[in-house]
Amino acid sequence: MKTLASLVLIGMPASGKSTVGVLAAKALGLHFLDTDLLLQKKMGLRLPEILLREGASGFLTAENHLLAELAFEDAVVSTGGSAIYHLQGMENLQRRGTVVWLDVPFAEIERRLSDVTTRGVVLAPGQSLRDLYQERQPLYEKWADLTLGVEREDLETTVSRLLSSLRTRSGLESPS
């Protein structure tokens, strides 16, 4: 059964999932997990190195296995941007928590993401960042229980809006 005690953040690389996740976990008194870091630890390599050694297909297979087997409660989980490609992984995450899409406009993603190679972004040969953005948007929308539009705002504002959206969604009172 899904619980609001856990949150799963999805979105494009550089959408702020890890940073917002840490701050939200602190504010909510929850654990924080970053699936990119868990994948790196499991594979013993950094994300770009996993992509280089395993290729995009191998990277995605390893990511799906990690997400499908991930067990957590009372946590905020930041996923890799490609998590939404994995049926088994996303079904597991969706069962365990509320999936929140940090929806950032393309221009802002492009501004924040100066070098995709150092971030371990899974791009098909010849695929541009814009192509990737357009391909993923419907998948983020499909998996999201809640969408939080994020543009150029400070982190505290984003986290505050996230917490407010969660309170509204769950019918909880705002603290006075």
How many structural domains compose the chain? 1
List, for residues 126-142, the tens digit of each pLDDT value: 888 999 999 999 999 99
Q: Would you say residue 1 has pLDDT above 60? A: no
pTM of this prediction exceeds 0.85: yes
Q: How long is the chain?
A: 176
**Cα–Cα distance measured from residue 64 to residue 42, given in angstroms and rounded to the nearest whole number:** 13
165 within a domain of the structure (yes/no)? yes
pLDDT in tens, 78-113: 999 999 999 999 999 999 999 999 999 999 998 888
Distance CA 112, CA 32 (A): 23
Whether 174 shows a pLDDT value over 50: the answer reads no
Rounded-to-integer distance, Cα 86 and Cα 124, Å: 16
- How does residue 118 score in pLDDT terms, banded at 50, 70 and 90? low
Q: Could you tell me if residue 2 is inside a domain? A: no
CATH assignment of the domain containing 137 = 3.40.50.300
What average pLDDT does the structure give for the chain? 89
Residue 47 placed within a domain? yes
